[in-house]
């Protein structure tokens, strides 16, 4: 699996006074899509946390092309950018389902850390079974 597609209905509470999705809510959509991508590889965030792995965000970006509106169905296409033993880069494209219009593009970078001390770990060495599952995304 090299891509996940997450379908989301824009709720009224996610929009601003201009009637479009408030910019920070795209990061909520990215998180839902990121979970779907990782689950497609056969592992959940909760599984990773249970064995002592956390994945804090260290960098995010989003380019907005056009605002989604209340009631729109959007599709978040999520792909793996780069995977290294210490971090993962994930790419996002947000499309309006009705016309395929590109609404936003984004990227997040997360590092793998030990849940106890928040020190960066080398996933391939510390948790080879998780590393193998994430490799399936490519």
Query: Of the listed 16, 47, 50, 114, which one is catalytic?
Result: 16
Q: How far is CA 72 from the centre of its chain?
A: 20
Known catalytic residue at 72:
no
Residues with catalytic annotation? 16
């Amino acid at each position: 699996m090299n891509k996940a597609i997450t379908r989301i209905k824009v709720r009224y509470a996610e929009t601003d006074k201009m009637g479009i999705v408030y910019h920070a809510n795209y990061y909520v959509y990215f998180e839902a899509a990121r979970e779907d991508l990782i689950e497609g590889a056969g592992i959940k965030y909760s599984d990773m946390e249970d064995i002592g792995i956390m994945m804090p965000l260290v960098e995010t970006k989003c380019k907005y092309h056009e605002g989604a509106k209340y009631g729109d169905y959007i599709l978040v296409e999520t792909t793996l950018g780069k995977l290294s033993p210490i971090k993962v880069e994930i790419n996002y494209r947000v499309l309006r389902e009705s016309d395929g219009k590109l609404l936003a593009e984004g990227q997040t970078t997360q590092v793998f850390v030990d849940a106890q001390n928040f020190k960066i770990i080398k996933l391939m060495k510390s948790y080879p079974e998780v590393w193998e599952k994430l490799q399936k995304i490519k």
